[in-house]
């Protein structure tokens, strides 16, 4: 409380958003005058929220409020994940909203077929309006991350991720995408999408940068209104469920893209002016277009977590900016507020959030709020205001009169999911998002000849779709899970064959008949949220295999076109040098033909479509953006561009991986980690393994190299007898609370020649150790074991300060190799938590 600093006229003349500058001009520092993390709402631009609740509807919601018990009111403030709350829970606790996390789905099945989603929607809805135990029966609403199409659902149209749309510079297209996405959501019965992401990333090492349209706030702002209108309809429109609309959510408020070093959920230690002029800008058009909800960020501003920042949520967003919808938190983000836990956080409500996203913590949150409300610790006026905001949004949506999900327009119309009309929009978006960085007269390709298509991810729809696609991280999928979709390869093949030529798919670039030209695809693999954070802007060296293919083809005089699949601009000078033409495809999604539309010309060799994409952010010159841009924001060639001389770019060696979730790979621990062998009794008898062959524990262990993925990519441990521990130790204790909260696992890839008598994996922290048995049976191949972090935490590991997060202890004679140790979700064998 009392967080509002009052400034009268002292600060008159400080730049406000009108005529916004995007530069970081720190001259007008208001912050020195105040506490850190406290905003000055009066300095922010004013907007007008155009949504008015008609008198009769307002009377209706106020009447409901008057009849609701305290239990019912508190229930409305809580959102539960379907993973962890049954329809009966929704009925009993009057829960206001459900969500499905990226790795959840109906009946515990992330890959559940579309009809099951609709059936599930009915079950929860019917439970919510069941008045068996009395009460008013407020219908529940279901939120989903439909962030690039209704992207959790098998068969949906998958649009390019936002960074690609940013390249397209086409707000009308954005509105069409919003409208198509809304329709596809309605087919499976949800009412609410956690989109659009209106982040303005300033550091592309951030693993969520691709979820944002651009690093330029003006470009982002130019899209937001269009996307909100596409999803919700024009701002004055009501009764969305009687139409083909859903409610939207702009996220993540505020400055999720402004954190230091691009660390996910980190701290934006920036001035209030930057906060306002860069990160705040897109909220203007969102509010002017009547966005129904805003999601707060996991991150903090000047050390204060957003969900607990009253000056920003209540003062700026709801006050000065006039936002009239409701504010929802992010996934257990309330637990990160100072003084809060996942199970208890009245402060978030007091500071202005209206709904808690409490996926698996809904019950303790509900009980805690109820207890405190009864004790008079939370002002009733704040509770009523939050409930009213939620009820008004529900009323605008039309959920009070819409009936059960399956009875509404579009529900169950399976042919709308991935319909040809929607795929055509996505294909257009792919065409318009492609950015041409180099063309030495090779493109467009003539379709009549022989085309070789090589590289990685060429025929892999999951790879070209990125994270937040069917599964949370976009991993664990194959082409069969994308019915109706087209890979880049298939699109190219069709176009070439239609023009009378032939195409050959050859990932390693080998061929029997000499091709006339080659396309080599390469780039990033899917990731989401913090798992995509990187230490530098270099493409991980273990993804650069196709560079060699490019060089070999070129050495044979075959023209090479490089196509990069990526969520961000990266240092890839070797590929830029090696190829004759270079195209950035971003994360195009399910309609791979869009690439062929632009790359493959007509029979006369003329382009069928020209390049339109312009870089939505600058391209780095080196692995560090601090060294400046190779290509500036807005760069992009087309078929009209005059020919350019190519000056070879400097090439530097880059790390095998920049992913700080990979601790051991290619035979080496990552930087700041050590690989150690000891007897499990402290460091006295310890050997640090740097080179091989090596021995440890007086000859009881021999360490050698063996192949995994790459030559000598694993370390083999041959143990003659006794107790042996192989450990990874970090220089600094690491905090894995966030990963643990998201069901991430410790992944050990190992091969066993001789099984030990017993083996266990432990995680050592400053405040405690957790251990779990691992059955290391002999196999003739490497196996990726998954140890849930949740389990290690349950067993006592101090998850927020781990010094040796990985220790493998064996007893007896044994012989095994370790290929990789990292965090992730893609285990082959998940160890039971016994
Ligand atoms: C993400 C949000 C997402 C939510 C629900 C969070 O972890 O940060 O963007 O909407 O989960 O899946
Ligand atoms: C994500 C969810 C996901 C979950 C995995 C969260 O951080 O936002 O969408 O399902 O982690 O448990």
**What's the confidence (pLDDT) of residue 34?**
59
**What's the confidence (pLDDT) of residue 306?**
98
Are 826 and 734 spatial neighbours (Cβ–Cβ below 8 Å)?
no
Please name the residues in contact with 166: beta carbons below 8 A apart, sequence gap of 6 or more.
Answer: 212, 213, 214, 219, 220, 223, 616, 617
CA 331 to centroid of ligand 2, rounded, Å: 7
Active site residue 330: yes
Structure-block tokens of residue 594: 């869009």
CA 333 to centroid of ligand 1, rounded, Å: 10
Structure-block tokens of residue 727: 């450990």
CA 153 to centroid of ligand 2, rounded, Å: 16
| Closest ligand to the CA of 333 | 1
Angular region, 352: left φ>0, alpha ψ -120 to 50, beta rest: left
31, 330, 804, 820: which is the annotated catalytic residue? 330
Task: For residue 663, give the nearest of 472, 829, 819, 828 by alpha carbon.
Answer: 819
Q: pLDDT by residue (tens digit) across 153-182?
A: 999 999 999 999 999 999 999 999 999 999
Active site residue 256: no
Structural domains in the chain plus CATH codes: 47-292+375-407 (3.20.20.300), 434-631 (3.40.50.1700), 662-830 (2.60.120.430)
| Cβ atoms < 10 Å from Cβ of 68 | 20
**What's the confidence (pLDDT) of residue 18?**
36
Residue 474 Cβ < 6 Å to ligand 2: no
Between helices 171-188 and 420-433, what is the axis angle to 10°? 140
529, 593, 679, 804: which is the annotated catalytic residue? 529
Q: What is the mean pLDDT of each run of 10 residues along the chain (834 residues)?
A: 32 36 42 76 98 97 98 98 98 98 95 98 98 92 98 98 98 98 98 98 98 98 98 96 98 98 95 98 98 98 98 98 98 96 97 98 98 98 98 98 98 98 99 98 95 97 98 95 98 96 97 97 95 92 94 97 98 98 98 98 93 98 95 98 94 83 91 90 88 94 93 94 96 90 93 97 96 95 97 96 96 98 94 92
Exposure string over 737-771, b if 16+ CB within 10 A, otherwise e: bbbbbbbbbbbbbbbbeebbeebbbbbbbeeebbb
| Cβ atoms < 10 Å from Cβ of 467 | 29
Q: pLDDT by residue (tens digit) across 255-288?
A: 999 999 999 999 999 999 999 999 999 999 999 9
Structure-block tokens of residue 423: 């795929």
CA 160 to centroid of ligand 1, rounded, Å: 19
Please name the residues in contact with 407: beta carbons below 8 A apart, sequence gap of 6 or more.
Answer: none
Choice from 331, 334, 336, 469 to test ligand 1 binding pocket (greatest atom count within 8 A of CB):
331
């Amino acid at each position: 409380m009392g967080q509002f600093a009052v400034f009268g006229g002292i600060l008159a003349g400080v730049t406000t958003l009108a005529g916004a500058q995007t530069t970081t001009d720190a001259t007008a520092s208001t912050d020195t005058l105040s506490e850190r993390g406290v905003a000055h709402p009066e300095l922010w631009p004013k907007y007008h929220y155009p949504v008015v609740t008609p008198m009769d509807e307002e009377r209706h919601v106020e009447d409901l409020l008057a009849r609701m018990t305290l239990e019912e009111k508190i229930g409305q403030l809580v959102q539960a994940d379907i993973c962890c709350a049954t329809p009966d829970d929704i009925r009993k606790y009057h829960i206001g909203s459900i969500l499905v996390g990226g790795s959840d789905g109906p009946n515990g099945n992330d890959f559940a077929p579309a009809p099951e989603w609709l059936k599930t929607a009915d079950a929860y809805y019917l439970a919510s309006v069941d008045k068996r135990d009395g009460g008013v029966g407020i219908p529940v609403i279901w939120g989903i991350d439909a962030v690039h199409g209704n992207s959790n659902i098998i068969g949906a149209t998958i649009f390019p991720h936002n960074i690609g749309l940013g390249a397209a510079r086409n707000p009308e297209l954005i509105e069409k995408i919003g409208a198509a996405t809304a329709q596809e959501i309605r087919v499976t019965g949800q009412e609410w999408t956690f989109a659009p992401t209106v982040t303005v990333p300033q550091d592309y090492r951030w693993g969520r940068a691709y979820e944002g349209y651009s690093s330029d706030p003006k470009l982002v702002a130019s899209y937001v209104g269009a996307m909100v209108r596409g999803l919700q309809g024009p701002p004055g429109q009501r009764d969305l469920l009687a139409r083909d609309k859903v409610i939207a959510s702009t996220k993540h408020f505020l400055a999720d893209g402004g954190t230091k070093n691009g660390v996910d959920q980190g701290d934006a230690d920036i001035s209030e002016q930057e906060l306002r002029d860069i990160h705040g800008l897109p909220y203007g058009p969102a509010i002017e277009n009547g966005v129904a909800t805003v999601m707060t960020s996991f991150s903090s501003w000047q050390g204060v977590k957003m969900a607990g920042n009253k000056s920003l949520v209540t003062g700026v967003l709801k006050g000065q900016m006039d936002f009239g919808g409701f504010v929802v938190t992010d996934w257990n983000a309330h637990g990160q507020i100072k003084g809060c836990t996942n199970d208890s956080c009245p402060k978030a409500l007091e500071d202005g959030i209206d709904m808690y996203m409490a996926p698996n913590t809904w019950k303790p949150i509900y009980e805690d709020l109820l207890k405190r409300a009864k004790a008079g610790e939370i002002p009733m006026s704040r509770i009523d205001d939050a409930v009213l905001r939620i009820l008004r949004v529900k009323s605008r949506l039309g959920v009070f009169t819409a009936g059960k999900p399956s009875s509404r327009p579009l529900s169950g119309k399976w042919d709308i999911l991935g319909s040809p009309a929607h795929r055509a929009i996505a294909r257009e978006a792919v065409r318009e998002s492609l950015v041409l960085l180099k063309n030495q007269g090779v493109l467009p390709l003539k379709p009549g000849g022989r085309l070789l298509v090589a590289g990685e991810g060429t025929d892999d729809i999951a790879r070209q779709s990125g994270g937040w696609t069917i599964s949370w991280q976009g991993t664990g999928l194959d082409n069969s899970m994308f019915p109706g979709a087209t890979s880049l390869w298939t699109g190219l093949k069709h176009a070439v064959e239609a023009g009378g030529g032939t195409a050959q798919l050859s990932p390693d670039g080998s061929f029997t008949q000499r091709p006339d030209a080659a396309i080599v695809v390469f780039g990033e693999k899917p990731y989401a949220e913090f798992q995509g954070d990187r230490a530098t802007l270099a493409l991980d060296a273990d993804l650069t295999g196709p560079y060699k293919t490019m060089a070999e083809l070129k050495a044979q005089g075959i023209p090479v076109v490089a196509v990069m699949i990526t969520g961000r601009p990266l240092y890839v000078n070797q590929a830029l040098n090696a190829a004759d033409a270079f195209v950035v495809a971003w994360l195009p999604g399910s309609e791979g033909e869009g690439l062929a539309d632009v790359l493959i010309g007509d029979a006369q060799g003329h382009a069928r479509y020209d390049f339109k994409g312009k870089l939505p952010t600058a391209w780095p010159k080196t692995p560090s953006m601090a060294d400046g841009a190779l290509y500036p924001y807005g760069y992009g060639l087309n078929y009209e561009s005059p020919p350019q001389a190519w000056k070879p770019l400097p090439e530097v060696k880059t790390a095998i991986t920049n992913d700080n979730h990979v601790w051991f790979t290619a035979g080496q621990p990552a930087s700041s980690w050590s690989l150690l062998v000891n007897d499990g009794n402290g460091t006295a008898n310890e050997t640090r393994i740097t080179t091989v062959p090596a021995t440890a524990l007086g000859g009881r262990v021999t360490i050698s190299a063996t192949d995994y993925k790459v030559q000598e990519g694993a370390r083999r441990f041959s143990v003659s007898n006794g107790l042996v521990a192989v450990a990874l130790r970090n220089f600094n204790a690491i905090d894995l609370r966030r990963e643990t909260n998201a069901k991430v696992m410790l992944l050990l890839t190992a091969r066993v020649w001789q099984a030990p008598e017993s083996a266990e994996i432990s995680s050592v922290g400053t405040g405690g150790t957790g251990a779990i048995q691992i059955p290391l049976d002999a196999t003739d191949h490497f196996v990726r074991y998954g140890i849930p972090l949740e389990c290690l935490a349950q067993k006592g590991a101090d998850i927020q300060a781990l010094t040796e997060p990985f220790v493998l202890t064996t007893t007896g004679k044994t012989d095994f190799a370790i290929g990789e140790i990292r965090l992730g979700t893609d285990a082959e064998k998940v160890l039971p938590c016994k």
